[in-house]
Amino acid sequence: MQDEADLFYRQLPKVELHAHLNGSISSATMQRLVAQKPHLHIQHSMTAINRGQRRTLDECFQVFEVIHQLTDRVEDIFTVTTDVIKEFASDGVKYLELRSTPREEKSTGLTKRKYVETVLEAIKHCKQEGVDVEVRFLVAIDRRHGPEVAMETVKMAEDFSVSSDGVVVGLDLSGDPTVGHGKDLIPSLQRARNSGLKLALHLAEVPSQQEETQLLLSLPPDRIGHGTFLHPEVGGSQELVDTVMKKCIPLELCMTSNIKGQTVSSYDKHHFLYWNNLGHPCVLCTDDKGVFATELSQEYQLAATTFNLSTAEVWALSEQAIDCSFAPESIKQDLRRRWAQLKREIHS
């Protein structure tokens, strides 16, 4: 019975909209990277938070620093991107928006531009190999690096959005939410918006950021990452909820990530319940499937069992994610057709 349920969630066609590249590296790929760099003395336990384990959000950010040491060459970026895309595809993901922060590494000759080019080459390579998933890319701004780097990143994203044949669709704002203030990033984000880039912003991932949240919501973003502390029950406000609902800004929700990172105390307390009950668009996502040892099929299964969702509600959730994506309308239509076809096949 359990296996049958697992199979259903794997077969269910899915859309992944919130996946950080370096947080999504599987343990198989990680083991290969670790073996290639024995001098770093990194053990796998340092790069993933396994079942039953929790860390503070702060400790999660230390994990990313360890992982970044393992992915500091062009060939590493190519390998992790192709592996991550193939893994999402084999978990039944048919449309994927990957996000990653361009990095430079003087010692290996990696530049930020080369970083993005390599991700795009890997995406193209997977397409040529016939991997069954449509992939788009969001260039990430790490808030830790401040407004100047943010502006540089926006300019680079603008260039790539023109030259990448529609693969670069927008920007992500992420990084340690306790560092810096969103107000300093408004000019860059505003510029990105004006040049047609979509904005997926981490918002209210930690408590007590009402002022910043209100400011960033005024842009407005096209999607919100986490939004854990928006609603009044957790110290947010009705005003924030009203703004999000009025502007109809979808939420990207990453249950296992929030539980393992300890911003939510248990699955049944996850804010999916609050927003889903309001009928607000929610998209289940993995965040960092490698670090948090999860898969998108598992997140759907967890949501369904925790909140007693019917099969029809599960399908509706995965279909709704198509509408929340940054894909052009023609791709959305293709995806809707595929969903309908797969639904018939799976339930025949």
Ligand X SMILES: CNc1ncnc2c1ncn2[C@@H]1O[C@H](COP(=O)(O)O)[C@@H](O)[C@H]1O
Among candidate residues 17, 199, 198, 9, the one with its CA nearest the CA of residue 95: 17
Q: Let me know: does 136 contact 328? Beta carbons within 8 Å.
A: no
Distance of CA 30 to the CA centre of its chain: 19
Closer by beta carbon to ligand X, 157 or else 314: 157
Closer by beta carbon to ligand X, 139 or else 282: 139
Closer by beta carbon to ligand X, 13 or else 164: 164
We find the least distance from the C-beta atom of residue 338 to ligand X, in angstroms, to be 28
The site that binds ligand X (CB under 6 A) totals a number of residues, namely 18
CB within 8 Å of 6: residues ≥ 6 apart: 297, 301
Chain position carrying tokens 């693969």: 167
Q: Is 64 in the site for ligand X (CB under 6 A)?
A: yes
**Residue 193, amino acid:** R
Closer by beta carbon to ligand X, 64 or else 326: 64
Q: Is 299 in the site for ligand X (CB under 6 A)?
A: no
Among the listed residues 158, 287, 295, 299, the single contact to ligand X using CB under 6 A: 287
Q: Is 100 in the site for ligand X (CB under 6 A)?
A: yes
Closer by beta carbon to ligand X, 153 or else 325: 153
The DSSP code for 258 is: H
We find the least distance from the C-beta atom of residue 65 to ligand X, in angstroms, to be 7
For helices 238-246 and 210-217, the axis angle rounded to 10 degrees is 20
Q: Is 88 in the site for ligand X (CB under 6 A)?
A: no
Catalytic residue (one of 205, 252, 295, 299): 205
Q: Is 92 in the site for ligand X (CB under 6 A)?
A: no
Q: Which region among 14-22, 155-163, 180-188, 264-272 touches ligand X (by CB under 6 A)? A: 14-22
203 strand-pairing partners: 226
Distance of CA 20 to the CA centre of its chain: 5
Backbone angles phi, psi at 229, to 5 degrees: -115, 35
Following CA atoms 22, 184, 280, 54 in sequence, which dihedral angle do they give, to the nearest 10 degrees? Answer: 40
Contact letters (x/-) for ligand X, 177-206, by CB under 6 A?
A: -------------------------x--x-
The neighbour count for residue 333, using CB atoms within 10 Å, is 12
Reply yes or no on whether 205 is catalytic.
yes
Of residues 17-46, those binding ligand X (CB under 6 A): 20-23
Closer by beta carbon to ligand X, 91 or else 205: 205
Question: Which H/E stretch holds residue 160?
Answer: helix 146-163
CA atoms within 13 A on the CB side of 346: 19
CB within 8 Å of 252: residues ≥ 6 apart: 17, 18, 200, 223, 224, 225, 226, 283, 285
Q: Is 142 in the site for ligand X (CB under 6 A)?
A: yes
We find the least distance from the C-beta atom of residue 19 to ligand X, in angstroms, to be 9
We find the least distance from the C-beta atom of residue 45 to ligand X, in angstroms, to be 18
Which residues of this protein are in contact with ligand X, per CB under 6 A? 20-23, 60, 64, 100-101, 140, 142, 174-175, 202, 205, 257, 261, 287-288
Question: Which residues are the active-site residues?
Answer: 205
